[in-house]
Amino acid sequence: MKTAYRVLLEGLTVMAVLAWTAVPAAGAEPGAAVAPAPLSAANPPPVTRLITLGTQGGPRINSTRAQPANVLIVRGTPYLIDAGNGVGRQLALAKVPITRIGRIFITHNHDDHNADWGALMGIAWSLGRKEPIHVYGPRGTESMLLGFLQYFAPNVANRTFHSAGATPPASVFFAHDIQQDGPVYQDENIQVTALENCHYHYLPGDPGHGWQKSYALRIQTPDKLVVFSGDTGECGKQLTEFVRGASILVHEVVSLPAIERRIRSDRSTSYSDAQMAELMTHMREEHTTPEDIGRLATAAGVGQVVLSHLAPGSDELPDSAYGDGVRQFYSGPVTVAQDLMEFR
Ligand SMILES: [Zn+2]
Ligand SMILES: [Zn+2]
């Protein structure tokens, strides 16, 4: 089903002749999500635009929400935050050419967040991009690039046999493991800082123990501070301080009763009581409820909350199932994001 907002985006060409101003997206709080207005001298382009490309939480594929990804466009330069499956298509729908993506930031290495950054780089290369594309992510990102170059090699052989001198992908694709909390990247538009959040609780002996990291990302632009929670459980004071003063907090959200109902009704998998208990512990401790997001947003004094990475997501629940709990503890604007909403 097309969202009202997507219809609005697709109608832009027709609407460009009309001098309409920012309009709240369907279902959004006034002043939160806005439709892009035609640009003119009286209406200069916004410095910072955030588009939620994919708002589904977890690896489920469905027809209503794409896998997690966001694009932050600062003075016309797009930066990608997470790259779930289908991100190239979502960028096209947002009217952002994938050949313009030069910087990608990955919050953590669950495949709903990292599945397509290699594919995205590869397609940009196949379309002729020669300028470097850099991806920054937790440990494992650099080794993933080595694997992707191998995966991509047959395509390279196909596309370059008649054009000696084509830029080799290894001269275009670059990966950087984030080694620790703190500054990750800076250019003339953005300053990116990472903080390990509370998504992982590996025990000694677990394969991920001691090296898997999940990060929240804080991105300062010339006029906005945008914080992405990444996937995280309730994380206490450290995350509150990291989020403090955010103009926009993009936070993951889980409805615990709904996710439990969904897992129990999933006919393709049957869990024992012990497995079910373990899964719900993961949902409770490694994801965040609406109420905890509301408390965090108030404690950190954020300007607005954008709920994305919805679990169970799809369109199983009304927006109120995610938003009302936030509003109990936070009085600012709260938007339950759909794919392709824009915030500025
Ligand atoms: Zn996720
Ligand atoms: Zn995750």
Task: For 305-320, write each residue's pLDDT tens digit.
Answer: 999 999 999 888 999 9
CA–centroid distance, residue 138 to ligand 1 (Å): 14
CA–centroid distance, residue 198 to ligand 1 (Å): 13
| CB distance 192 to 199 below 8 Å | no
CA–centroid distance, residue 210 to ligand 1 (Å): 20
212: its two tokens: 């898997």
* Ligand with smallest separation from the Cα of 110: 2
pLDDT at 41 over 80: no
pLDDT at 29 over 70: no
| pLDDT for 11 | 32
pTM above 0.85, yes or no: yes
pLDDT at 256 over 90: yes
Report the C-alpha gap between 170 and 100 in whole angstroms. Answer: 18
DSSP category for residue 35: P
- Of 28-42, 166-180, 317-331, the range with the lowest mean pLDDT is 28-42
Beta bridge mates, 186: 191
The residues placing their C-beta within 5 Å of ligand 1, an ion, are 110, 112, 231
The residues placing their C-beta within 5 Å of ligand 2, an ion, are 110, 231
Beta bridge mates, 228: 217, 250
**269-285 average pLDDT score:** 88
pLDDT at 330 over 60: yes
Sequence-distant (≥ 6) Cβ neighbours of residue 144 within 8 angstroms: 109, 114, 118, 137, 175
DSSP category for residue 99: G
Q: Is 66 helix (H, G, I), strand (E, B) or coil?
A: coil
Q: Within 13 Å of residue 115, how many CA atoms lie on the same side as its CB? A: 16
* Ligand with smallest separation from the Cα of 252: 1
pLDDT in tens, 130-173: 999 999 999 999 999 999 999 999 999 998 766 666 899 999 99
| pLDDT for 7 | 31
CA triple 173-77-65, angle to 5 deg? 80
316: its two tokens: 């199983």
Report the C-alpha gap between 332 and 295 in whole angstroms. Answer: 12
Confidence of residue 15 (pLDDT cuts 50, 70, 90): very low
pLDDT at 97 over 50: yes
High-pLDDT (> 70) share of the chain, %: 86
CA triple 337-341-344, angle to 5 deg? 105
**325-339 average pLDDT score:** 98
**Taken in order 96, 82, 295, 340, is the CA torsion positive or negative?**
positive
CA–centroid distance, residue 195 to ligand 2 (Å): 15
| pLDDT for 293 | 98
What dotted CATH number matches 4-156+168-343?
A: 3.60.15.10
pLDDT at 8 over 90: no
CA–centroid distance, residue 112 to ligand 1 (Å): 5
Q: In what order do the strands lie in the sheet with 248-254?
A: 182-186, 191-196, 215-220, 225-228, 248-254, 304-311, 334-336
* Ligand with smallest separation from the Cα of 232: 2
CA–centroid distance, residue 112 to ligand 2 (Å): 7
CA–centroid distance, residue 172 to ligand 2 (Å): 28
| pLDDT for 49 | 98
| pLDDT for 160 | 78
Confidence of residue 25 (pLDDT cuts 50, 70, 90): very low
* Ligand with smallest separation from the Cα of 199: 2
Task: Tell me the one-letter amino acid at 336.
Answer: V
pLDDT at 128 over 50: yes
